Protein backbone atom coordinates (compact mmCIF):
# COMPACT_ATOMS: atom_id res chain seq x y z
CA UNK A 1 0.00 0.00 0.00
CA UNK A 2 2.81 2.41 0.90
CA UNK A 3 4.50 1.68 -2.42
CA UNK A 4 1.28 2.40 -4.34
CA UNK A 5 0.84 5.67 -2.46
CA UNK A 6 4.42 6.69 -3.28
CA UNK A 7 3.90 5.93 -6.97
CA UNK A 8 0.75 8.06 -7.00
CA UNK A 9 2.60 10.94 -5.34
CA UNK A 10 5.42 10.77 -7.88
CA UNK A 11 2.95 10.63 -10.76
CA UNK A 12 1.13 13.68 -9.45
CA UNK A 13 4.39 15.60 -9.12
CA UNK A 14 5.40 14.80 -12.68
CA UNK A 15 2.07 16.14 -13.92
CA UNK A 16 3.08 19.73 -13.14
CA UNK A 17 6.05 21.72 -14.44
CA UNK A 18 6.56 23.67 -11.22
CA UNK A 19 6.02 22.47 -7.67
CA UNK A 20 3.30 24.22 -5.78
CA UNK A 21 3.76 24.85 -2.03
CA UNK A 22 1.60 21.83 -1.26
CA UNK A 23 3.74 19.66 -3.56
CA UNK A 24 6.92 20.85 -1.86
CA UNK A 25 5.50 20.02 1.55
CA UNK A 26 4.47 16.57 0.35
CA UNK A 27 7.82 15.85 -1.28
CA UNK A 28 9.71 16.93 1.84
CA UNK A 29 7.52 14.84 4.15
CA UNK A 30 7.79 11.76 1.94
CA UNK A 31 11.57 12.12 1.67
CA UNK A 32 11.95 12.20 5.44
CA UNK A 33 9.56 9.28 5.78
CA UNK A 34 11.74 7.17 3.50
CA UNK A 35 14.92 8.13 5.34
CA UNK A 36 13.36 7.54 8.76
CA UNK A 37 12.14 4.14 7.61
CA UNK A 38 15.74 3.20 6.78
CA UNK A 39 17.00 4.64 10.06
CA UNK A 40 14.65 2.21 11.84
CA UNK A 41 15.84 -0.74 9.77
CA UNK A 42 18.83 -3.05 10.12
CA UNK A 43 22.43 -1.93 10.43
CA UNK A 44 23.04 -1.73 6.69
CA UNK A 45 19.89 0.32 6.13
CA UNK A 46 20.88 2.75 8.86
CA UNK A 47 24.37 3.18 7.43
CA UNK A 48 22.94 3.82 3.96
CA UNK A 49 20.52 6.42 5.29
CA UNK A 50 23.26 8.19 7.23
CA UNK A 51 25.48 8.26 4.15
CA UNK A 52 22.60 9.81 2.22
CA UNK A 53 22.02 12.41 4.94
CA UNK A 54 25.69 13.36 4.76
CA UNK A 55 25.25 14.45 1.15
CA UNK A 56 22.98 17.31 2.21
CA UNK A 57 26.22 19.23 2.67
CA UNK A 58 24.91 21.73 5.17
CA UNK A 59 23.96 21.55 8.84
CA UNK A 60 20.29 20.72 8.29
CA UNK A 61 18.97 20.52 11.85
CA UNK A 62 16.71 17.55 11.16
CA UNK A 63 19.59 15.59 9.63
CA UNK A 64 22.01 16.57 12.39
CA UNK A 65 19.65 15.45 15.14
CA UNK A 66 19.10 12.09 13.46
CA UNK A 67 22.85 11.57 13.09
CA UNK A 68 23.50 12.54 16.71
CA UNK A 69 20.89 10.02 17.80
CA UNK A 70 22.60 7.35 15.68
CA UNK A 71 25.86 7.95 17.58
CA UNK A 72 24.24 5.92 20.36
CA UNK A 73 23.19 2.98 18.19
CA UNK A 74 24.20 -0.47 19.45
CA UNK A 75 25.91 -1.22 16.09
CA UNK A 76 29.40 0.29 16.02
CA UNK A 77 29.29 0.59 12.24
CA UNK A 78 26.14 2.67 12.47
CA UNK A 79 27.83 4.87 15.07
CA UNK A 80 30.82 5.22 12.75
CA UNK A 81 28.54 6.20 9.85
CA UNK A 82 26.83 8.73 12.10
CA UNK A 83 30.12 10.38 13.01
CA UNK A 84 31.17 10.63 9.36
CA UNK A 85 27.76 12.06 8.44
CA UNK A 86 28.10 14.79 11.07
CA UNK A 87 31.45 15.78 9.61
CA UNK A 88 30.01 15.88 6.09
CA UNK A 89 27.07 17.95 7.35
CA UNK A 90 29.44 20.57 8.83
CA UNK A 91 27.53 20.06 12.07
CA UNK A 92 29.44 22.33 14.46
CA UNK A 93 26.67 21.90 17.01
CA UNK A 94 27.62 18.21 17.22
CA UNK A 95 31.25 18.83 18.22
CA UNK A 96 30.60 17.92 21.89
CA UNK A 97 28.94 14.67 20.77
CA UNK A 98 31.85 13.84 18.47
CA UNK A 99 34.36 14.56 21.23
CA UNK A 100 32.51 12.06 23.40
CA UNK A 101 32.66 9.55 20.54
CA UNK A 102 36.46 9.66 20.68
CA UNK A 103 36.12 7.33 23.67
CA UNK A 104 34.13 4.79 21.65
CA UNK A 105 35.55 1.77 19.79
CA UNK A 106 38.59 2.30 17.50
CA UNK A 107 36.42 2.40 14.38
CA UNK A 108 34.08 5.02 15.84
CA UNK A 109 36.83 7.09 17.45
CA UNK A 110 38.70 7.23 14.13
CA UNK A 111 35.54 8.39 12.34
CA UNK A 112 34.91 10.98 15.06
CA UNK A 113 38.47 12.26 14.75
CA UNK A 114 38.05 12.69 11.01
CA UNK A 115 34.71 14.45 11.48
CA UNK A 116 36.17 16.82 14.05
CA UNK A 117 39.00 17.65 11.66
CA UNK A 118 36.46 18.55 8.98
CA UNK A 119 34.80 20.84 11.53
CA UNK A 120 38.08 22.57 12.35
CA UNK A 121 38.43 21.01 15.81
CA UNK A 122 41.78 19.44 16.75
CA UNK A 123 40.48 17.20 19.55
CA UNK A 124 40.95 14.04 17.51
CA UNK A 125 44.48 14.63 16.27
CA UNK A 126 46.04 12.20 18.75
CA UNK A 127 43.83 9.47 17.29
CA UNK A 128 44.94 10.30 13.74
CA UNK A 129 48.60 10.27 14.78
CA UNK A 130 48.17 6.90 16.48
CA UNK A 131 46.61 5.44 13.31
CA UNK A 132 49.37 6.91 11.16
CA UNK A 133 52.08 5.54 13.46
CA UNK A 134 50.60 2.06 13.36
CA UNK A 135 53.18 -0.52 14.37
CA UNK A 136 56.21 1.42 13.17
CA UNK A 137 59.06 1.33 15.68
CA UNK A 138 60.73 4.51 14.46
CA UNK A 139 58.12 7.00 15.68
CA UNK A 140 59.88 10.22 16.68
CA UNK A 141 59.63 11.26 20.30
CA UNK A 142 57.22 14.04 19.48
CA UNK A 143 54.65 11.41 18.39
CA UNK A 144 55.04 9.27 21.49
CA UNK A 145 52.90 11.48 23.71
CA UNK A 146 50.15 11.59 21.12
CA UNK A 147 50.12 7.80 20.87
CA UNK A 148 50.07 7.50 24.64
CA UNK A 149 47.14 9.92 24.85
CA UNK A 150 45.24 7.97 22.20
CA UNK A 151 45.83 4.69 24.01
CA UNK A 152 44.59 6.21 27.25
CA UNK A 153 41.37 7.27 25.51
CA UNK A 154 40.57 3.90 24.01
CA UNK A 155 39.40 0.67 25.56
CA UNK A 156 41.08 -1.33 22.77
CA UNK A 157 43.88 0.86 21.36
CA UNK A 158 45.41 -2.01 19.43
CA UNK A 159 42.43 -1.74 17.10
CA UNK A 160 43.80 1.54 15.81
CA UNK A 161 46.83 -0.24 14.41
CA UNK A 162 44.72 -2.78 12.54
CA UNK A 163 42.61 -0.39 10.51
CA UNK A 164 42.34 -2.09 7.13
CA UNK A 165 40.25 -2.03 3.98
CA UNK A 166 37.16 -2.90 6.01
CA UNK A 167 37.41 0.57 7.53
CA UNK A 168 36.06 1.97 4.25
CA UNK A 169 38.11 5.07 4.98
CA UNK A 170 41.32 4.94 2.98
CA UNK A 171 42.34 8.26 1.48
CA UNK A 172 41.38 9.51 -1.96
CA UNK A 173 44.45 10.63 -3.84
CA UNK A 174 42.93 13.48 -5.87
CA UNK A 175 44.08 13.43 -9.50
CA UNK A 176 46.12 10.31 -8.80
CA UNK A 177 42.96 8.34 -8.03
CA UNK A 178 42.26 7.82 -11.72
CA UNK A 179 45.40 5.72 -12.14
CA UNK A 180 45.27 3.74 -8.92
CA UNK A 181 42.93 1.04 -10.32
CA UNK A 182 45.54 0.36 -13.00
CA UNK A 183 48.27 -0.42 -10.48
CA UNK A 184 48.81 -4.16 -10.52
CA UNK A 185 49.80 -4.48 -6.88
CA UNK A 186 46.34 -3.63 -5.54
CA UNK A 187 46.98 -5.87 -2.54
CA UNK A 188 49.25 -3.10 -1.27
CA UNK A 189 46.20 -0.97 -0.57
CA UNK A 190 44.72 -3.71 1.57
CA UNK A 191 47.84 -4.47 3.60
CA UNK A 192 47.35 -4.27 7.34
CA UNK A 193 46.33 -0.79 8.34
CA UNK A 194 47.27 0.89 5.04
CA UNK A 195 43.87 2.46 4.23
CA UNK A 196 43.58 3.76 7.76
CA UNK A 197 47.08 5.25 7.71
CA UNK A 198 46.46 6.85 4.31
CA UNK A 199 43.20 8.34 5.59
CA UNK A 200 44.98 9.66 8.67
CA UNK A 201 47.55 11.38 6.46
CA UNK A 202 44.80 13.00 4.37
CA UNK A 203 43.14 14.44 7.46
CA UNK A 204 46.38 15.48 9.16
CA UNK A 205 47.07 17.65 6.09
CA UNK A 206 44.05 19.70 7.13
CA UNK A 207 45.73 21.03 10.26
CA UNK A 208 47.22 24.52 9.77
CA UNK A 209 50.31 24.24 11.99
CA UNK A 210 53.91 23.22 11.28
CA UNK A 211 53.42 20.03 13.27
CA UNK A 212 51.17 18.71 10.50
CA UNK A 213 53.95 19.26 7.96
CA UNK A 214 56.37 17.29 10.16
CA UNK A 215 53.91 14.43 10.37
CA UNK A 216 53.49 14.38 6.60
CA UNK A 217 57.26 14.33 6.11
CA UNK A 218 57.55 11.39 8.49
CA UNK A 219 54.81 9.53 6.59
CA UNK A 220 56.95 9.65 3.44
CA UNK A 221 58.91 6.76 4.94
CA UNK A 222 55.89 4.49 5.39
CA UNK A 223 56.32 0.99 3.97
CA UNK A 224 53.08 1.24 1.97
CA UNK A 225 53.08 3.00 -1.39
CA UNK A 226 49.62 4.50 -0.96
CA UNK A 227 50.51 6.09 2.36
CA UNK A 228 53.68 7.54 0.80
CA UNK A 229 51.61 8.76 -2.14
CA UNK A 230 49.10 10.54 0.10
CA UNK A 231 51.91 12.03 2.20
CA UNK A 232 53.61 13.38 -0.94
CA UNK A 233 50.34 14.86 -2.15
CA UNK A 234 49.76 16.44 1.26
CA UNK A 235 53.20 18.02 1.22
CA UNK A 236 52.50 19.42 -2.22
CA UNK A 237 49.63 21.28 -0.57
CA UNK A 238 51.22 22.09 2.79
CA UNK A 239 54.99 21.58 2.58
CA UNK A 240 57.73 24.20 2.53
CA UNK A 241 61.33 24.56 1.39
CA UNK A 242 62.45 22.17 4.12
CA UNK A 243 60.17 19.47 2.67
CA UNK A 244 61.83 19.47 -0.74
CA UNK A 245 64.82 17.33 0.20
CA UNK A 246 62.54 14.78 1.84
CA UNK A 247 60.32 14.65 -1.23
CA UNK A 248 63.38 14.19 -3.43
CA UNK A 249 63.95 10.95 -1.52
CA UNK A 250 60.87 9.62 -3.32
CA UNK A 251 62.54 10.02 -6.69
CA UNK A 252 64.13 6.60 -6.09
CA UNK A 253 60.85 5.00 -4.98
CA UNK A 254 60.02 1.66 -6.60
CA UNK A 255 56.52 2.88 -7.52
CA UNK A 256 56.30 5.20 -10.50
CA UNK A 257 53.21 7.01 -9.24
CA UNK A 258 54.94 7.79 -5.94
CA UNK A 259 57.98 9.16 -7.78
CA UNK A 260 55.73 11.29 -9.98
CA UNK A 261 53.74 12.67 -7.05
CA UNK A 262 56.96 13.49 -5.24
CA UNK A 263 58.23 15.39 -8.27
CA UNK A 264 54.93 17.24 -8.75
CA UNK A 265 54.85 18.23 -5.09
CA UNK A 266 58.37 19.66 -5.30
CA UNK A 267 57.19 21.79 -8.22
CA UNK A 268 54.16 22.97 -6.25
CA UNK A 269 56.37 24.07 -3.35
CA UNK A 270 58.81 25.82 -5.70
CA UNK A 271 55.90 27.62 -7.38
CA UNK A 272 55.06 29.28 -4.04
CA UNK A 273 58.73 30.13 -3.41
CA UNK A 274 59.14 27.52 -0.67
CA UNK A 275 56.47 29.01 1.55
CA UNK A 276 54.29 26.70 3.63
CA UNK A 277 51.04 26.00 1.80
CA UNK A 278 47.66 27.02 3.13
CA UNK A 279 45.13 24.48 4.31
CA UNK A 280 42.77 23.53 1.51
CA UNK A 281 39.12 24.35 2.08
CA UNK A 282 38.06 21.32 0.05
CA UNK A 283 36.71 18.38 2.06
CA UNK A 284 38.61 15.13 2.32
CA UNK A 285 36.96 12.66 -0.05
CA UNK A 286 36.48 9.13 1.20
CA UNK A 287 36.94 6.38 -1.41
CA UNK A 288 35.59 2.86 -1.33
CA UNK A 289 38.44 0.40 -0.92
CA UNK A 290 38.31 -2.85 -2.86
CA UNK A 291 37.43 -5.73 -0.57
CA UNK A 292 38.04 -8.50 -3.07
Sign of the alpha-carbon dihedral angle for 175, 178, 181, 184: negative
Sign of the alpha-carbon dihedral angle for 66, 68, 72, 77: positive
Distance CA 48, CA 89 (A): 15
Distance CA 2, CA 251 (A): 61
Q: What is the DSSP string of 97-160?
A: HHHHHTTS-HHHHHHHHHHHHHTT--TTHHHHHHHHHTT-S---HHHHHHHHHHHHH-SSGGGG
Distance CA 43, CA 277 (A): 41
Tell me the CA end-to-end span of the chain in Å, nearest whole number: 39
Q: What is the pLDDT along the chain (292 residues), one digit of tens a residue?
A: 556 555 555 555 454 445 567 766 777 788 888 889 899 999 988 998 898 888 887 778 888 999 999 999 999 999 999 999 999 889 999 999 999 999 898 889 889 999 999 898 988 888 888 888 766 656 555 556 665 665 565 555 555 544 443 343 333 333 334 334 334 344 444 456 777 888 889 889 888 888 899 999 999 999 888 889 899 999 989 999 999 989 999 888 998 888 888 888 899 898 888 898 887 655 554 434 343 3
Amino acid sequence: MKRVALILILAAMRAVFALEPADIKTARAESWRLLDESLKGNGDSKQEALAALGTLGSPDNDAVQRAISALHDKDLFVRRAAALALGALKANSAIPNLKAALDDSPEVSFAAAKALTQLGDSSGRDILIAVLSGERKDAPGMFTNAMREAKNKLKHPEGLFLMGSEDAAGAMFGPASMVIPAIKDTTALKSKGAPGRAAAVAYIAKYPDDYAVQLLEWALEDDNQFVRLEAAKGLGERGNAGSIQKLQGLWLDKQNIVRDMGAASVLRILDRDGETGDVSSAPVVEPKTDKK
